[in-house]
Amino acid sequence: MDHQNTHLETPPATSLALFCKVVDNYGDIGICWRLARQLEQEHGIGVTLWVDDLRSFQRICPEVAIDCETQKIANITVRHWRDQDGAFSADDVADIVIEFFACDIPPAYIAAMAQRSPQPVWLNLEGLSAEEWVEGCHTLSSPHPQMSLTKYFFFPGFTGKTGGLLLESALLQQREAFQQDPAAMAAFLEHFGVTATEFASLKVSLFCYPEAPAAALFEAWQHSDAAITCLVPEGVAASAVEAFLGRGASATRGALTVRVLPFIPQPDYDKLLWACDLNFVRGEDSFVRAQWAGKPFIWHIYPQDKDLHHVKLNAFLRRYSAKTDSLVALSLAWNAAADESADFAQIWPSFKADMPKIATMSTDWQHQVLANGDLASNLLKFAETVR
Ligand code: TRH
């Protein structure tokens, strides 16, 4: 499929190649696709996105054809990256080359980078962490051991000494317009079978890894004093969802309705976060999107060996300013990072009571993070300084 976007009539002044290896799930391609679109749409960069897993890509972007070597989507050239280490010449190399998360770009491409004049700016875009060491490593250089090329580390982050977070320039305005239009929100959710009664209840979106104690949370919600509708993308929290509703798409027990949604395209996922009162998110990209949604959220962090992820979770919770004790308690319980075993029946009512306060505080958090600008703009500014 070829989605040509014709607003750029002259060739872009700057070209950029973004290499993405999908380690697992959807965050790697989710982040790269978001960055690619923003660089093209807001900065007029000619982007080529190299991605090794078109199936994962298609789940968040249905326009993707999984059997296509090269395709153009939203004016971005998408190349299926299949360890092509054939001949690359200096002419094939972009002005800026980004490897996402230390994926090894083809050696022949690197050799062609060394041949190019002027040499490209080479960046390794790292994963997001709130830990303090990130500030010391952001923009560090790493000379190539054999060739006269230098790679720079670029870290997303929450402070002025990092690269910031991805945020499209119109996103917060779009979100506000949507949230001020209850009819639009109801129509959006109705499309997925959400009834008027469910729309009037407390709406929660649930995106987490299989380890999350979803069954225990469902149990507490069933005994809640007000109705809750939990919207779960298919395949997420699968055992808890199946135990709750069997094979159907929705079921109600006590105060809780659980409804399974299809996996939706990335822009719709934002709308889901905006339309819900509370969002459970995971990994990196949905975690960042929840911060722009202006609603309380609970983060399920990507699990790592030796519980390293608990260090990262605590680093974020220390920095995050829109928090209450109940948010910290629920976050730790959700990630099995609390000292004592989780008692959601006790934690939930106090968290729920704090939700309006958390939502209000989240605006200050957004301003605080955005004082540092957005990641795409920061990345281009940095590229200019090392060009
Ligand atoms: O999918 P994730 O768990 O992704 C990642 C990867 O596992 C990666 O290897 C790891 O490094 C990282 O987590 C920490 O979670 P994440 O980052 O939230 O990405 C999910 C993407 O999927 C995000 O772009 C939103 C999108 N999405 C949709 O487009 N539609 C949906 O219905 C849902 C639920 C998500």
CA 122 vs CA 9, 131, 284, 305: distances in Å: 27, 24, 23, 30
User: Distance, CA 211 to ligand 1 centroid (Å)?
Assistant: 16
| 3-state class (DSSP) for residue 45 | coil
Which residues, 6+ apart, have CB-to-CB distance to 117 below 8 Å? 90
Q: What is the pLDDT along the chain (387 residues), one digit of tens a residue?
A: 334 444 545 667 899 999 999 998 999 999 999 999 999 999 999 999 999 999 999 999 999 999 999 999 999 999 999 977 677 999 999 999 999 999 989 999 999 999 999 999 999 999 999 999 999 999 999 999 999 999 999 999 999 999 999 999 999 999 999 999 999 999 999 999 999 999 999 999 999 999 999 999 999 999 999 999 999 999 999 999 999 998 899 999 999 999 999 999 999 999 999 999 999 999 999 999 999 999 999 999 999 998 899 999 999 999 999 999 999 999 999 999 998 888 999 999 999 999 999 999 999 999 999 999 999 999 999 999 998
Candidate of 24, 26, 209 to mutate for ligand 1, largest count of ligand atoms within 8 Å of Cβ: 26
Distance of CA 138 to the CA centre of its chain: 20
234 included as an active-site residue:
no
Q: Which atom of ligand 1 is nearest to the CA of 263?
A: 32
**What whole-number distance in Å separates Cα of residue 61 and Cα of residue 81?**
17
User: Distance, CA 286 to ligand 1 centroid (Å)?
Assistant: 6
Order of strands across the sheet with 15-20?
70-73, 76-80, 46-51, 15-20, 96-100, 121-125, 150-154, 141-143
Candidate of 24, 25, 281, 335 to mutate for ligand 1, largest count of ligand atoms within 8 Å of Cβ: 25
Residue nearest to atom 4 of ligand 1 (CA): 27
**What whole-number distance in Å separates Cα of residue 353 and Cα of residue 333?**
18
Of 52, 284, 285, 374, catalytic: 284
As a whole number of Å, the CA-based R_g of the chain is 22
Global confidence as pTM: 0.96
Site residues for ligand 1, CB cut-off 6 Å: 23-28, 30, 60, 127, 207, 233, 263-266, 269, 282-287, 302
User: Distance, CA 31 to ligand 1 centroid (Å)?
Assistant: 8
